Chain A
Amino acid sequence: MGAFGHYLTGHLATLRLEFWSLFVGGVANGFLYGMIAVGYTLVYGVLRLINFAHSEIFMSGGFGGYFVMKALIGSSVPSGMATVGLIVLGIVVGGTVGALVATLLERVAYRPLRRRNAPKLAYLISAIGASYFLFNLAGKEFGRYSLSMPQPYINHPVFTIFGATVQLYYIVIFIAGVVMLFSLDRVVATTKLGRSIRAVAQDAETASLMGVNIDRTIALTFIVGGALGGAAGFLFGLGTGVVYTMGFVPALKAFTAAVLGGIGNLRGAMIGGLLLGVAESLSVVFVQAAYIDVVAFGILVAVLLFRPTGILGERLGRAA
């Protein structure tokens, strides 16, 4: 007890010191995970399959944003409205590229299988194949090394919260994350598109009898999920640069977050993402950074042991 108690007090002291700094970083990562995770959960809702090529949608969005920043910024340092405009443009372009790639994926890798009533395993292999195709193509075209993202601003501390400085980069993520996730939630809950997504998720056959165009709904679901994934790719690249392999681990974490929150459950994916991001970040107080992934997947296993359907449960086709 003595040794363990000493260990704990020592670490709790560190935790008090660093808590808010780690928390802020964790929330930023959490928003990114959440934005990717909703893509998994939406597609799972309508198709009952995991789009394992979603990591490459994320990566494509990152490159889309990178090329726009590179073309527009060059060596200048934008400020004021130019900064805001560039960030919005980067998000829009990243989202558009993500949506395009997602559409392409749906057309090439999924729709033909759906037409032929292929077994679920075929979708899985098709997705993994598409993923390898895409990231290797990116490696071939853009080089197999990281590229520094030209910055639309000079990153600097904006304000301090409980002793933790909050950087401009994190604020960009917070604002973008809140706006996009909130809008998505409203779209799915209130619009006609949202209603058809929910209808297809609940019962595709009945929905089609009620006049819902299933193909169109599925295609739009991919577009919405792809747009958020692509935008997340740009935001991620803004902080760490882009490279053809950038999608793999963040997407895997996001998938974890989606399952954590309850796969198919939109708000579950958002909450799962935030929870995972914060838990990971705070874990470095107790264990080395080398254990971050161990902690992330440990949490997943622990939650699923007690709640196999995730935190909010699998509530397919519902906004919450």
Chain B
Amino acid sequence: MKLRLNKTVAAVASSALLLMAVPVVGIASASGAATKAKPTYTIGYEGPLSGGNQQLGLNMVFAVQLAVNQANANRKLPFKLKLATYDDQGDPTISPTQAQAAVANKHLVAIVGPAFSGATAAAEPFYHAAHIATVSPSATRVSLATSGWNNFFRVVADDGVQGPADADYLVKSKGLKSVYVVDDGTSYGSGLAQAVALQAKSDGATVVSATVPGTSQCQNGTASATEYSAAATQAVASKATALFYGGYYCDLGLFLGALSSAGYTGSVMSGDGALSPALIQGTTPASAANGVLLTCACASSSNAKFNSAYKLLSHFSAANATYAPESYDAANAIINAIKSLKKVTRPGIVAALHKLTYVGMTKKIKFQSDGNIAGSAIFVNQVKSGSIVQLGLE
């Protein structure tokens, strides 16, 4: 399976290399002798295509390739597209070299990526200097949007958005005015829980916070699972109608069991750290996981057309391909920006993206002036009879 994937990527990558080596029809030659030939623009992808995070890069690059293929199949489009890949391994030290290679490719008009926040921060000065628009499907570091790079865009919510959006969903959308906020003591869990508690308070809810550290049973801590019965008793005694858990799926599973034993009947919500089928597998009794809300900046694709086309291309299921839907949207945002231009230039695409409104597969793509996506971009999922179902945007 792995070998097969590698071969496919090699094919994608080598065709991209071929394109770089032989400029068949470029921007410059478009007005040349072959007047009938459509101009060909290159869209780049920068992300991890080798190394430990390879799978994440593969998830993305196939989605971009799919968007490019579909655009090329549309005869009405006045241009052709090519994909060029730049493998940064998700590494900020490799990323600048790849960015410079992308900048040097004179056919390249825009980038989907970079995938990782660190790599993006390292690469962006080069893209910015060359006026190349970069649309990241996955870089979530908050500061990326505030560094003065007008060419930076992302179709995913940043790290600062999830907590407040979760609180708003519980308090404003669901009308739950008493929230018990629990965190597992990790930097991820307590950070998210604090953000939720803060926003829930400002939304007018009564908030009680508690830290219930991760257990040695789950490798995120050293505490004992026996603490959960006491913690659950307190949650019930607080008479809270909603409980937010900042932490990971394994400990949440143990906590859910204790909550059900203690007779808790309110809503339970957690973030992306708990968004895993392993949550359901690890909850005793299994029914205690039903109804739990799980939020994530990531979308899961329920679009059957996309899923089957994606599988045909990648030979793996889109259902588990994290950030594939976002990558598809990022590529299509760029393609739509190109469509809107009479004369396609790198700075022209940057300007067009700032003005773009496009209904993507995951959400409406409209960028704020800093490159962040406008509106809520946090998805809420719910466990329903043993499986995780995406309900929609918060």
A290 contacts across to B, CB distance below 8 A: 185, 211-213, 223
Q: Is the interface of A mostly helix, strand, loop or mixed?
A: helix
With contacts A146-B250, A240-B225 taken as known, whether A21 is within 8 angstroms of B262 at the C-beta atoms is: yes
**Chain A nearest Cβ from B278, distance in angstroms:** 6
Proximity string of chain A (243-273) to chain B, C-beta cutoff 8 Å, 1 when within and 0 when not: 1011011100100000000000000000000
Which residue of chain A has the shortest Cβ distance to B251 in the bound complex? Answer: A146
Q: Is the CB of A147 within 8 A of B282?
A: yes
Is A227 on the interface with B (CB-CB < 8 A)?
no
Interface residues of B in 104-152 (CB under 8 A from A): none
B254 contacts across to A, CB distance below 8 A: 146, 240-241
Is B352 on the interface with A (CB-CB < 8 A)?
no
Q: Is the CB of B260 within 8 A of A155?
A: yes
With contacts A145-B281, A241-B284 taken as known, whether A249 is within 8 angstroms of B233 at the C-beta atoms is: no
* Interface residue from B230, B236, B257, B261 paired with A241 (Cβ < 8 Å): B257
Assembled-state Cα–Cα distance A292/B221 (Å): 13
Q: Is the CB of A245 within 8 A of B237?
A: no
Is B215 on the interface with A (CB-CB < 8 A)?
yes
Which residue of chain A has the shortest Cβ distance to B226 in the bound complex? Answer: A29
With contacts A245-B217, A290-B185, A292-B223 taken as known, whether A18 is within 8 angstroms of B282 at the C-beta atoms is: no
Question: Counting chain B CB atoms within 10 Å of each CB, which of A283, A289, A293 scores highest?
Answer: A289
- Give the interface residue-count category, chain A: 35 or more
Is B367 on the interface with A (CB-CB < 8 A)?
no
Which residue of chain B has the shortest Cβ distance to A248 in the bound complex? Answer: B216
With contacts A21-B262, A26-B230, A284-B230 taken as known, whether A289 is within 8 angstroms of B210 at the C-beta atoms is: yes
Assembled-state Cα–Cα distance A292/B214 (Å): 12
- Give the interface residue-count category, chain B: 35 or more
Q: Is the CB of A18 within 8 A of B234?
A: yes
Is A106 on the interface with B (CB-CB < 8 A)?
no
Which residue of chain B has the shortest Cβ distance to A284 in the bound complex? Answer: B230
Is A288 on the interface with B (CB-CB < 8 A)?
yes
* Interface residue from B216, B230, B237, B261 paired with A292 (Cβ < 8 Å): B230
Proximity string of chain B (270-306) to chain A, C-beta cutoff 8 Å, 1 when within and 0 when not: 0000000010111111100000000000000000000
Assembled-state Cα–Cα distance A283/B229 (Å): 12
B212 contacts across to A, CB distance below 8 A: 288-290
Proximity string of chain A (273-298) to chain B, C-beta cutoff 8 Å, 1 when within and 0 when not: 00001001101100011101100000
Interface residues of B in 216-257 (CB under 8 A from A): 216-219, 222-231, 233-234, 236-237, 250, 253-254, 257
A79 contacts across to B, CB distance below 8 A: none
Q: Is the CB of B285 within 8 A of A155?
A: yes
With contacts A249-B222, A249-B224 taken as known, whether A146 is within 8 angstroms of B253 at the C-beta atoms is: yes
Q: Is the CB of A151 within 8 A of B224?
A: no
**Chain A nearest Cβ from B57, distance in angstroms:** 25
Q: Is the CB of B257 within 8 A of A147?
A: no
Assembled-state Cα–Cα distance A147/B218 (Å): 11
Which residue of chain B has the shortest Cβ distance to A150 in the bound complex? Answer: B286
Which residue of chain A has the shortest Cβ distance to B182 in the bound complex? Answer: A289
14 additional contacts (CB under 8 A) given A239-B257, A249-B222: A21-B236, A29-B229, A146-B254, A148-B284, A155-B260, A155-B285, A157-B263, A167-B262, A237-B284, A241-B254, A246-B225, A249-B217, A290-B212, A290-B213
Q: Which 3 pairs from chain A and chain B are nearest by CB? A: A146-B282, A249-B224, A241-B284
Residues of B within 8 A of A (CB): 185, 210-213, 215-219, 222-231, 233-234, 236-237, 250, 253-254, 257-258, 260-263, 278, 280-286
| 29 A-B pairs in the complex with CB atoms less than 8 angstroms apart | A18-B233, A18-B234, A21-B236, A25-B230, A25-B233, A26-B230, A28-B229, A145-B250, A145-B281, A146-B254, A146-B282, A147-B281, A237-B284, A240-B217, A240-B225, A241-B253, A249-B215, A249-B216, A249-B223, A249-B226, A250-B225, A253-B226, A281-B230, A284-B233, A289-B210, A289-B213, A292-B224, A292-B230, A293-B222
